[in-house]
Every structure is written in structure tokens, then in C-alpha cells.
Amino acid sequence: MSFPTRRLRRLRTSDKMRELVQETTLSSKDFICPVFVQEDLKERIKVESMSEIERLPLRDVNEEVEKIINLEIPAIMLFGIPTAKDEAGSSAFDDNGIVQKAISQIREKFGDKIVIMADVCLCQFTSTGHCGIIQGNKIDNDTSLETLAKIAISQAKAGVDTVSPSAMMDGQVAAIRKALDDSGFTDVSIMSHSAKHRSNFYSPFRDAAECAPKFGDRKTYQVPYTNAREAIMEIETDIEEGVDIVMIKPALAYLDLIAETRRKYSIPVSAYSVSGEYALVKAASQLGYVNEKDITLEILYSIKRAGADMIVTYFAKSASKFLQES
Ligand code: PBG
């Protein structure tokens, strides 16, 4: 009878032994917590498709941020839902816009206790629901760049740390970097949604942020989920344009791209575990088909194991609590 020469089970004999050889770690410090703030809202509204996620009125934002800080989560990602939408998306770059107000209010109360990141996009702000400006019947890339740059500047004026363009317009990082630098905001960093895919995992977000396209889809600007080399070219382009942190989005179905980006580049890599990933877990947990805590942690550990340095996730608060318990 021949015995195995290598016994990997030797290092799985006890909790302490397993801890000793654990390769990947996860902590609340890895998380960026999304926050939805809606203009003219009186009371919090639950997001139907995303259990435990709410849209907040401006007056509740600081209370929410305080909870996030207390959970030792280092960063938030702000998304705004404006009252007025128009073709130019002008409420997005209004210095008195909902996102700008939220940024300055948080900055004033919490100083440097939290990294304030904000989404830079147009779809919540345009009457068309598209991420760029429509000219004729097309989304005009270069006109959209001017608007995206204006949004970034107005957020910078309000005191944002990091702008996070998610419009998938070509040249968005270069346009925003130049505009920020020209206005003296050389310290405002850019975390681009570099490889943002045309994904079916975003539908609950559209419920959360009211940004579904009114016609057509996002196929002319977001990366097809069939194309890995194209995704890597998007990342490469953002690095050339001066991005500070690249992002791959969604996360769970795109772990190959997270791993490849990590191997190929030295830049910090973030992964966005999107609304659909969250909704699936929540729904299955509520039905009793999976254990919410175990499956949440497994997913987040896997995203870290693939190579993400940080994760934008709707699980940020619940997972931080789970990690404190375990
Ligand atoms: C819009 C935007 C979307 C998400 C983040 N920013 C939706 C979209 O592109 O349709 C999705 C995030 C999520 O699903 O959690 N620019």
C-alpha cells in the first residue's frame, strides 16, 4: 500500500494551525461603503430590491457616516439622487447639488476621519438616464467629458477626497485629472470605474438610484462581459491617463480580471461588488437557502484572494459586524 508523500491536511489540524497558514485576510478596513442621498427627501426610503439599503435625506447622512466610522470602515462612496433632471445633467455639477451638500456637511463634521469618495456620472442627473450627454441620437463622448470634468471640480470644491468616474467615456480620467489640476485640486485622487462591464448585475442599483436608461442600453459605452483583453486595455488606458486607483466592476463574476490586473500592474486595485451580487445573497439568505454570514464572508474573502486591495460593497456594514463577531 502506498502512502501519500505530501499531506496538506497536516496544516488543517486545528483552528490555530489554520490561522497560522491563512493567506488572505479581511477586515472592515478593506471596505468602501456606498451611501445614497436623495434631494428633498423627508424620511429614509428602503430600496425594495436591496434589503437593508436605504436612500437617505441629507439630514440623516452624518448619522449614517458616524455608524460607518464606528465600524472602522475607512471610506464611503456617495451617490446622489437629484430632484431635477435635464438633458445636460446640470444638477450634477451644481455647487449646491445634493452630492456637493452631502460632501461639505460630512467634511465639516468629520474632518479626515473618513475618506469621502463620490460617484462622477450623469445617469442619475440626466432626463435620458444615460451616463453621457446625448447629441442627435448618440451619446457624445467628448461633450460628456466636459460635463464629467465640471462634476469633479464641483465635488472637489465641496471637499471630496476621491472622485470616482463611472460613465465609461473614453478619456474621462485624463479630462478630470487636467480639470482638477488646472483648478488647483492636485491632491484630489481619482478612482475610476476602469473596467465597468455592461452587466445584468446592476438592476437593483437602478432601483436605488433611479438611473435606468429611458431608451436603449449601455452597450455602446460599457465593456462587454465576454472580453477580458478589452477590459485590461481599459485599465491600461486609465493608468496612462493618471488614475490613482483602478476598479473592476462587478466583482464576483470577474475575479479573473481582478487577478490579472493585480499580477500585471502595481497600482491599487479596487473591486465593486455590485447591487445584484448583494441582492442575490440577501434574497437566498432570507429564503433560508444559504447562511448569510458565511456566504458574505466567503464572497468578500474571495474578492480579496483574487487580488483586490479594497472592495466597494453593500455588505460593508454587515460584514464589518460579522468580522467583529468572529
Ligand atoms: C451609473 C452606475 C451604475 C452603478 C454604479 N454607477 C449603474 C449602471 O451603470 O447602470 C451600478 C452599481 C451597482 O449595481 O451596485 N453610472
The pLDDT value recorded for residue 188 is 98
Q: Is the peptide bond before 204 cis (omega within 30 degrees of 0)?
A: no
- What would the pLDDT profile of 33-57 be if each residue is shown by its tens digit? 999 999 999 999 999 999 999 999 9
Based on the residue annotation, tell me whether 29 is a catalytic residue of this protein.
no
Provide mean pLDDT across the span 157-167. 98
Percentage of the chain with pLDDT > 70?
A: 100
What is the pLDDT confidence band of residue 202, given thresholds at 50, 70 and 90? very high
Measure 159 CA to ligand 1 centroid, in angstroms: 23
CA 256 to chain centre: 18
- What would the pLDDT profile of 293-310 be if each residue is shown by its tens digit? 999 999 999 999 999 999
Measure 205 CA to ligand 1 centroid, in angstroms: 6
The pLDDT value recorded for residue 234 is 98
Residue for cell digits 456617495? 78
- What would the pLDDT profile of 114-136 be if each residue is shown by its tens digit? 999 999 999 999 999 999 999 98
At 127, which amino acid appears?
Answer: S
Residues whose CB is less than 8 angstroms from the CB of residue 47 and which lie 6 or more positions away in sequence, other chains included: 36, 53, 54, 55, 204, 207, 208
Which atom, in ligand 1's list, is nearest to the CA of 131? 16
Burial class (CB in 10 A: 0-12, 13-18, 19+), 40: exposed
What is the pLDDT confidence band of residue 326, given thresholds at 50, 70 and 90? confident
Residue 275 Cβ inside 6 Å of ligand 1? The answer reads yes
- What would the pLDDT profile of 131-153 be if each residue is shown by its tens digit? 999 998 899 999 999 999 999 99
Provide mean pLDDT across the span 226-248. 98
Q: Considering the candidates 150, 249, 282, 304, report the single residue annotated as catalytic.
A: 249
The pLDDT value recorded for residue 296 is 98
Based on the residue annotation, tell me whether 249 is a catalytic residue of this protein.
yes
Instruction: For the chain, give every domain's residue range.
Output: 22-325
The pLDDT value recorded for residue 207 is 83
Has this prediction a pTM greater than 0.95? yes
Percentage of the chain with pLDDT > 90?
A: 95
What is the pLDDT confidence band of residue 206, given thresholds at 50, 70 and 90? confident
Residue 211 Cβ inside 6 Å of ligand 1? The answer reads yes
Provide mean pLDDT across the span 148-176. 98
The pLDDT value recorded for residue 110 is 98
Please tell me the residue having the least CA distance from ligand 1 atom 14.
202
pLDDT averaged over every residue in the chain: 97
Instruction: Identify any residues that bridge with 55 across adjacent strands, giving them in sequence order.
Output: 36, 45
Residue 154 near residue 186 (C-beta atoms within 8 A): no
The pLDDT value recorded for residue 8 is 97
Rounded to whole angstroms, the Cα distance separating 165 from 7 reads 48
End-to-end CA distance of the chain: give it in Å, rounded.
42
Residue 81 Cβ inside 6 Å of ligand 1? The answer reads no
- The CATH homologous superfamily for domain 22-325 is Aldolase class I (3.20.20.70)
What is the pLDDT confidence band of residue 191, given thresholds at 50, 70 and 90? very high
Q: Is the peptide bond before 4 cis (omega within 30 degrees of 0)?
A: no
Measure 32 CA to ligand 1 centroid, in angstroms: 15
Q: Considering the candidates 196, 282, 304, 317, report the single residue annotated as catalytic.
A: 196
Other Cβ atoms closer than 10 A to 307? 18
The pLDDT value recorded for residue 137 is 83
Provide mean pLDDT across the span 186-200. 98
What is the pLDDT confidence band of residue 97, given thresholds at 50, 70 and 90? very high
The pLDDT value recorded for residue 99 is 98
